[in-house]
């Protein structure tokens, strides 16, 4: 009987005995089996879950990857053999049709959205078929940049440049092509590839304009706002770190203080990360982002959660280089968000400063 059942159906007829660590036939009652949810972005784990819901009587991983007499190398290949995944031909047709009226930049944006939403089963297949449409403007842009009308790139160079453009768009959203295997990744020796898009974006402010803006805003601070400004600036300048909580009703000038502090530090070439608990609030901050987007905070949190920040990643380097983090509307989020960021920052920053492991938020100043 067990050979005729799927993994989720097994608890209907059998009971797991912890003492003997074995399944025995169920004698009474009824139970509904359920396989733990796995999102498509988890790769092989997701494909294994798909197979467990369809293949009956499996006893090992090899059984799960065997269709007929063929043993496949991965769960993903097995899913294709069973017809559980689409071939993505509709996306290829869509890109081909859109290339007649859409710009290459718009097509790159579309590809990033499809990657981000996990809409494609085989993104590398769509890329191989459609990358030429996403690279149509690159040679023109470089000819204009270098003022060299005769500048020519071969197909390999064009594909690498288009891939780099896609990588830059993904990095702005806190993702990378490495998060979508087996998508290709730009070669490290490509001169077209930016070293760290996150850091470059935060350093692109006009320091002279920031200096003028700071002087203008500073004159408008009230005595109470100036006390807040001076305490935070002292903490940043002395690099002593610390946590500050600024409370005030709507309209009391909190955002005005954040703008003043941000302009002061950016006029010196320092990095300030302005985040907010909601998308609307982030629009009020200069260079603002939502906290979940900036720090890769998981949507589902528990007391042991951490942010998806890998050592040596562009985001980890950005956090290491920043001088100040301003988090607006902080009480709107659960405390697990702050605890997750605290654990992640301690882990990331301990390689540059061993004491960071014992300091709140790795010793950074956070407001």
pLDDT the model gives residue 83: 82
User: Are 107 and 133 contacting, i.e. CB atoms less than 8 angstroms apart?
Assistant: yes
CA distance 274 to 309: 18
**What's the predicted TM-score (pTM) here?**
0.54
User: Are 356 and 311 contacting, i.e. CB atoms less than 8 angstroms apart?
Assistant: no
Beta-sheet pairing, 242-243 with 365-366: parallel
CA distance 40 to 47: 8
- Averaged pLDDT in 10-residue chunks for the chain of 367 residues: 80 85 84 80 81 86 88 85 80 91 94 87 90 92 72 83 90 83 75 61 83 91 91 90 87 88 91 88 86 88 87 85 90 89 89 84 90
pLDDT the model gives residue 191: 45
pLDDT the model gives residue 119: 80
Domains of the chain: 2-82 (no CATH), 89-194 (no CATH), 202-366 (3.40.50)
Q: In a 10 Å sphere around its CB, with 0-12 CB exposed, 13-18 middle and 19+ buried, how is residue 99 labelled?
A: middle
pLDDT the model gives residue 213: 92
User: Are 319 and 309 contacting, i.e. CB atoms less than 8 angstroms apart?
Assistant: yes
CA distance 226 to 209: 21
SS3 133: helix
pLDDT the model gives residue 194: 47
Residue of 14, 12, 35, 11 whose CA lies nearest to 25: 14
**Residues with Cβ within 8 Å of residue 304, at least 6 apart in sequence:** none
pLDDT the model gives residue 193: 47
Q: What is the CA radius of gyration of the chain?
A: 26
């Amino acid at each position: 009987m067990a050979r005729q059942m799927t993994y989720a159906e097994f608890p209907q007829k059998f009971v797991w005995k912890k003492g003997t660590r074995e399944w025995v036939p169920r004698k009474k009652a009824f139970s509904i089996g359920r396989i733990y949810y796995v999102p498509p972005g988890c790769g092989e784990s997701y494909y294994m879950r798909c197979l467990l819901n369809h293949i009956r009587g499996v006893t090992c991983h090899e059984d799960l990857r065997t269709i007929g007499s063929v043993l496949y190398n991965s769960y993903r290949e097995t899913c294709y053999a069973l017809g559980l995944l689409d071939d993505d031909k509709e996306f290829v047709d869509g890109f081909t049709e859109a290339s007649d009226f859409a710009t290459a930049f718009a097509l790159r944006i579309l590809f990033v959205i499809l990657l981000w939403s996990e809409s494609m089963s085989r993104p590398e297949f769509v890329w191989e078929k459609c990358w030429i449409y996403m690279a149509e403007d690159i040679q023109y842009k470089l000819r204009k940049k270098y003022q060299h009308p005769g500048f020519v790139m071969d197909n390999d160079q064009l594909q690498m440049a288009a891939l780099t453009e896609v990588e830059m768009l993904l990095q702005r959203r806190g993702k990378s092509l490495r998060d979508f295997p087996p998508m290709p990744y730009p070669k490290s020796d490509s001169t077209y590839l930016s070293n760290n898009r996150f850091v470059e974006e935060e350093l692109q402010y006009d320091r002279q304009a920031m200096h003028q803006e700071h002087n203008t805003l500073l004159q408008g601070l009230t005595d109470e706002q100036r006390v807040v400004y001076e305490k935070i600036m002292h903490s940043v300048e002395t690099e002593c770190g610390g946590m500050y909580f600024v409370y005030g009703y709507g309209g009391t000038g909190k955002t005005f203080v954040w703008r003043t502090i941000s302009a002061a530090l950016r006029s010196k070439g320092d990095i300030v990360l302005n985040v907010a608990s909601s998308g609307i609030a982030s629009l009020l901050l200069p260079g603002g982002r939502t906290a979940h987007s900036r720090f890769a905070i998981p949507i589902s949190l528990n007391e042991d959660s951490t942010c998806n920040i890998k050592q040596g990643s562009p985001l980890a380097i950005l956090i290491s280089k920043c001088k100040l983090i301003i988090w607006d509307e902080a009480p709107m989020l659960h405390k697990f968000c702050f605890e997750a960021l605290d654990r992640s920052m301690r882990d990331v920053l301990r390689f540059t400063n061993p004491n960071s492991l014992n300091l709140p938020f790795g010793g950074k100043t956070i407001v």
